[in-house]
Amino acid sequence: MSGLRWLQQSEGPQALPNPTSALRDPNGLLAAGGSLEPEWLLEAYRNGIFPWYEQGQPILWWCPDPRAVLWPDDLRISRSLRRSLRRRAYRVTADRAFAAVVDACSAPRRYTDATWITPDMAAAYKHLHALGWAHSFETWRGDELVGGIYGVAIGRVFFGESMFSRATDASKVALAKAMDFLRARDCALLDCQVPSSHMTSMGASLLRREHFLRLLGELCVPRGTPGSWSDAMDAR
């Protein structure tokens, strides 16, 4: 593809191009190659770039325009979700089953057998979790894991990666509780990467890439240290 930068692992993450140079078609495709090591992923997220590719493809890096985001105060709680939250049929934890959430998110969906969470991607995020940068929120019905969401936290931004649901409203309950937790931690923004009907129904909106990148420059600053969120969530 004309204009696509091919990266060598030996170059290091500083070789990631300026995100504003991403292609218009396909929207946001920026570079290929490189590595999924923690230093690559963290540098990418701080600059609004994320990996997204399928098995058999090289690592593909993206920064689309516009960007889908969810502001904490814009979270939309539907009547049915409010009922699910009120019934307390579910409980939500954080960082208690990260690997299980990633594996559930990588499983084929009912509408497709394809998945972008390749074994290498799953291993990379599990590594980030072990280092305290990646986090999950899990929805339980009794002892059964029925929903969840995972992503990467840097500064005051939570970069959402994927979510799954095996019961009514289970992923939405995880997101609602996650937003309560993130708001209490002074999180300013949840990055949804690309628009979807699911996230739009919950209040996600679009930002021009220029505005999004400017926000990251302000919000992705050192604030606390990476580590598990499990005890903090349990204490709520």
**What is the pLDDT confidence band of residue 3, given thresholds at 50, 70 and 90?**
low
Q: What is the pLDDT of residue 113?
A: 47
Q: What ranges in the chain are assigned the alpha helix state H?
A: 38-46, 79-87, 98-106, 119-130, 170-184, 197-201, 209-219, 230-234
Same domain, 76 and 50: no
Express each pLDDT in 152-172 by its tens digit. Answer: 999 999 999 999 999 999 999
pTM exceeding the 0.85 threshold for the entire prediction: yes
Nearest alpha-carbon partner for 47 in 203, 196, 157? 157
Angle at the Cα of 90 (from 136 to 71), degrees rounded to 5?
50
| Residue 131 structural domain | 68-234
Same domain, 50 and 77: no
Express each pLDDT in 70-126 by its tens digit. Answer: 999 999 999 989 988 888 889 999 999 999 999 999 987 554 445 679 999 999 999
Phi-psi category of 71—alpha, beta or left, where left has phi over 0 and alpha has psi -120 to 50? beta
Segment (H or E) for 235: none
Tally the domains of the chain: 2
Q: Which of 27, 49, 64 is the last residue of a domain?
A: 64
Angle at the Cα of 229 (from 202 to 149), degrees rounded to 5?
35
Same domain, 101 and 178: yes
Same domain, 158 and 55: no
Calculate the average pLDDT of the chain.
Answer: 93
Express each pLDDT in 136-156 by its tens digit. Answer: 999 999 999 999 999 999 999
Same domain, 91 and 32: no
Same domain, 54 and 75: no
Same domain, 103 and 153: yes
Q: What is the pLDDT of residue 222?
A: 75
Q: Which of 44, 64, 84 is the last residue of a domain?
A: 64
Q: What is the pLDDT of residue 60?
A: 97
Percentage above 70 pLDDT, the chain? 95
Nearest alpha-carbon partner for 52 in 24, 25, 23, 30? 30
**DSSP code, position 36:** -
**Pairwise CA distance, residues 19 & 165, whole Å:** 32
Express each pLDDT in 102-111 by its tens digit. Answer: 999 998 755 4
